[in-house]
Structure formats: structure tokens, C-alpha cells
Amino acid sequence: MKYDFSSLGQAVNGVKESSKKETFVKKDSKKNDKNEPSKLNRIDFSSFRTTFDAFSVGKKNKNEKEEKKKISNPSDDSAIDIEKALMEDFVTDYTANKTNVTELYNLLRNDFPAIAEIISNKYFNKKYVDIVPTMNAVIKLMTTKVFATSLLSTIKDGAFELEDIKYDFGKLISMVLRTSNSKMVDSTMAAYVEIMADHLYNIEMKQLQELGLSDEAATDVVIGIPKLMTQMTENDLKYSVGEFIGIILEHCDTTINTMDAESQKKLFYTIFPQIKYQTNKAVGKCFIADELDLGKDEKRAALYNEYVKMLYMILDEQDIQDIEYVLSFIYKTTKANDDANKAAILFNGKVAVEYDNIAKALKDFVENNKDSKEILFH
């Protein structure tokens, strides 16, 4: 498998540069090098207090430290100390054995699954802020060619039960690809993309392509939304919903032919399955995003209009009480925002009333929440 990363953008050097994009171009040997660039609008981590540079961490203020003390107990602190020690030992052992193929293989096979579980699930946990530098030390190792190619080799050799490590590895590799690509040579990134597309998510890749996505767009989906087709945590869901439309718009040359509202609906339900009302939650989070102005970009504008239609279609399919739950989320979340942002959200009652079930729910909700009309009908 060959990958062309020549047009790869700069990595996010700290979380505030959310406007930057990474470009992953996956070459198909059957296409004479005419390949569609795959650009992801990556997750904006600006709401977290830690920076996301693989080589730095934000400073904590006194109040944050005091808050951590309040929410931690001795057993929590002991567990964190143990996990920190595990990561420190891993970094030390890896550094000492990176030229010893046998020892490196054993280290990755035996120790890396636990390391990946810690970082992928706890990097943004407030209780773990003090050991983020230790996590970053592991991430720094992962930006090297030796690490990436060695991990790929261990996976190809069957060193892991893939279902056991799939999402921890997937989330961590996604994290590294999206934030530290300027620290990696092309072959390092190619190894990670191969791990994601051909090994960890090969089944999902086929499903996504059957739903109308190109190979390149499907690759972007598994990298951008590594917990796709599962029940996500609130944080995973929060930072995944924006990827959906971002990927569709970036691949407009192909998605314009396959992603009408009905097709987007099938894709949305697949990526964000209705487990414990997860689809509804995802729709609500999409509706509170700022409405995009795509100007004279006809392809993207058309795809975006189909996306908006799709969101209303999904919401209209739910029970009235579940629609009201989503309306309540939109209302409360938007009400808490600055006045300047309230008129910019995607949801608009003037459009929503065209859908029978949403209209019924809106009527009841507005009657019981007198000030909601101003927000929901902007």
C-alpha cells in the first residue's frame, strides 16, 4: 500500500489553531496517481485546559490544582501514580531497546495495549492533568518511523486480538495523526493510516463504501471518528459530530453524486447508532453548531443543504417526547451562549415546522417554555 502525503498540512501546534487541516492522500495503484486529497477539519480541542502539542503541556493555575484535590481521593491518586509509572517504564524500556527488534516486539505486544488504554481514554480527564507530560512522552515516541513500522509489523504478525485493542489503538493513532503530523515523516504516517484502514477498521471501511463513500472519504471517517458505530462517551460524541459534515464537504467531488439527504441519513445512523438515544444526541449537537455560509461553492452548498434536510428528517422520525428532549437541549444550550451567537445556530423553528412531528413537539414545547420561541424561531 502506498500513500502520498506531499500535500499534508501543518500539524496543530497547540489546540488553538483549529482552523488548520491535515491532508491524507491514499493512493490507489489502479488510478495512475490521480487521487482525491482527503482533508479533515479536525477536532477543536480549545475547550480543554491542556494543550495538545505532543511536546508541551499547558500550565495549570492554582484554582485548577485545588479543584483536582477536591475531586481526587487517595485511591484515585494511587491509580494515577501507577499508570504514570507504567508509562515512564514504557518510555525507558522502549528507548533502551529501539534497536533490538525482538525486545521491541515484546514490549509493544505486552505493554503497549495498557499504555494506549490510558492515553486514549484519560488524556482529557481533569484528574490526569498532572501526568499529561508523561503521556506526551509516549506520543513523542509514536511520531518516529521505528515505532510506527514496528507497531504495524506486530499487528500484521497477529500479536494482538484486534477486537481487544481496536478502539484504544484507534483513538490514540487518530490523536497522533491529527495533531502531530508535522513531527512525522511520510512513511510514519502511511504506516498509521494502513493500521487504521486495513487492519483495525477494515470491516467499517467496507460498510462505509457500501453506503456511498469513496475509499479516501471512508479512510477519513475512521481516522476522524474512531469510535464510529459504537456507543460513544459524551466527549467522543461532542468532537465527532462536526467531522461528519466536514468529511462530506471535503470530498464534494465524489459525495455530490452519492450523498443526498436520504443517503446521508443512512450514513448518520450507521456512524452514530441509536444506542441510548445517541442518534438524537448527535442530531442535537449538530443543530447547535453555527450555520455555514458556503457562498458560491455550489457543490458544497448543495451537500450542506442535503445535510440540514437530513437532520430534520431524523428528528422528525422520533417520538414526540424524544423530539422535545432534543428541543430542550438546543434551547438550554443556546440560551447559555452569548446573545451574538443565538441567531447563528443551525436549527430554525421556521424550517422545522414544515415537518409534522417536529411541529407538534415545537408547539407543546414553546407553550411550556415561554422564552424559547425567541431562540428556536430566529
* Rounded Cα distance, 282 and 297, in Å: 26
* Rounded Cα distance, 182 and 185, in Å: 8
Q: Is residue 223 scored above 70 in pLDDT?
A: yes
Contacts of 369 (CB under 8 A, 6+ apart): 328, 331
SS3 per residue for the chain: CCEECCCCCCCCCCCCCCCCEEEEEECCCCCCCCCCCEEEECCCCCCCCCCCCCCCCCCCCHHHHHHHHHHCCHHHHHHHHHHHHHHHHHHHHHHHHCCCHHHHHHHHHHHHHHHHHHHHHHCCCHHHHHHHHHHHHHHHHHCCHHHHHHHHHHHHCCCCCHHHHHHHHHHHHHHHHHHCHHHCCHHHHHHHHHHHHHHHCHHHHHHHHHCCCCHHHHHHHHHHCCCCCCCCCHHHHHCCHHHHHHHHHHCHHHHCCCCCHHHHHHHHHHHCCCCCCHHHHHHHHHHCCECCCCCCCHHHHHHHHHHHHHHHHHHHCCCHHHHHHHHHHHHHHHHCCCHHHHCCECCCHHHHCCCHHHHHHHHHHHHHCCCHHHHHCC
Supply the pLDDT for residue 342: 67
Grid cell 413537539 in the structure block, residue: 361
| More confident site: 11 or 94 | 94
**In terms of Cα–Cα distance, which of 219, 156, 163, 201 is closest to 28?**
219
Contacts of 106 (CB under 8 A, 6+ apart): none
Task: Look up the pTM and report it.
Answer: 0.81
What are the pLDDT digits (tens) for 345-357? 999 999 999 999 9
What's the mean per-residue pLDDT of the chain? 85
Supply the pLDDT for residue 26: 53
* Rounded Cα distance, 280 and 318, in Å: 8
Give 24's pLDDT tier (boundaries 50, 70, 90). low
Q: Is residue 376 scored above 80 in pLDDT?
A: yes
* Rounded Cα distance, 318 and 326, in Å: 10
Give 158's pLDDT tier (boundaries 50, 70, 90). very high
**pLDDT average, residue stretch 240-251:** 97
Beta bridge partners of 26: 3
What are the pLDDT digits (tens) for 282-322? 999 999 999 999 999 999 999 999 999 999 999 999 999 99
Q: Is residue 1 scored above 70 in pLDDT?
A: no
What are residue 193's phi and psi, to 5 degrees?
-65, -40
Q: Are 274 and 212 in contact (CB under 8 A)?
A: no
Grid cell 484507534 in the structure block, residue: 170
Alpha carbon of 114 to those of 135, 172, 221, 241: distances in Å? 12, 12, 25, 28
**pLDDT average, residue stretch 28-38:** 43
CB atoms within 10 A of CB 371: 10
Q: Is residue 80 scored above 60 in pLDDT?
A: yes
Q: Are 140 and 54 in contact (CB under 8 A)?
A: yes
